[in-house]
Structure 1
């Protein structure tokens, strides 16, 4: 199985999901990583505030940060090679990069939206009520 490591900018906590304003992208990443973990797929996640030594000891990441600064984070590493920089992987990219089934990352947002649309309204066709 492929190994994934995510090197993130400095955040107040390990997930960045603390404080009053929650970043929806960090929430998505935490959800995907938790779902992957529940399916037996571990992804290492290193935050510059909590794991600065990981940025120092990994020569590839150290050189990347020296060249691009912390504004170039996050960095996604697959099997010790930088794969994505400056952003997190999309859900589809997680599936492809880790070579896992789609259900390992949870439902796709489109599937969730479609399911919720089906349950909304009074049951009239297309949500257009005649009465």
Structure 2
């Protein structure tokens, strides 16, 4: 079973839907990660702004950041080995690492909102 770790650049959220414009690549990737997590597979994301210690603790990530700087992010590790630098993996790559079908990674997270509006 594969273990994948994603070391994201500094950003306000991992979905790409915050801020003035939506990044379709981040949205695609967040949906794929959601689908893999829902299956109980070992995939973790770390954001530089939230968990800088994870970046410093990992010798592979720390070395890349020292040599190439923060523009090298995201850094993707598969089973503790660097698999990609500077771009997110495709759904096909994720599927091959976890031995699932790429089509299984297209599920979108659903958020249910509940509003309690009181008349005044």
**TM-score between both structures, scaled by the size of structure 2:** 0.81
C-alpha RMSD of matched pairs (Å): 1.6
Per-residue Cα deviation, 1:25-76 (whole angstroms, up to 9, x for no partner): 1100111011111222231001111110000111111011001111111111
Give matches, 1:106-121, under 5 Å.
Answer: 106=106
Change in 2 beyond 3 A, CA 1:92/1:14: closer
- Higher Rg of the two aligned structures: 1
Give 1 or 2: higher helix fraction.
1
Residue correspondences, number:
107
Q: Which residue of 2 aligns with 1:73?
A: 73
Preserved CA contact (<8 Å) 2:5 2:76: yes
How do 1:1-131 and structure 2 match up within 5 A? 1-106=1-106
CA distance in 1, matches of 2:66, 2:32: 29
Alpha-carbon distance in structure 2 between the residues aligned to 1:78 and 1:56: 18
Q: Greater relative contact order (Cα 8 A, min sep 6): structure 1 or 2?
A: 2
Stretches of 4+ aligned residues off by more than 4 angstroms: none
SS at match of 1:61: helix
Determine if contact 2:14/2:26 at 8 Å carries over to the other structure.
no
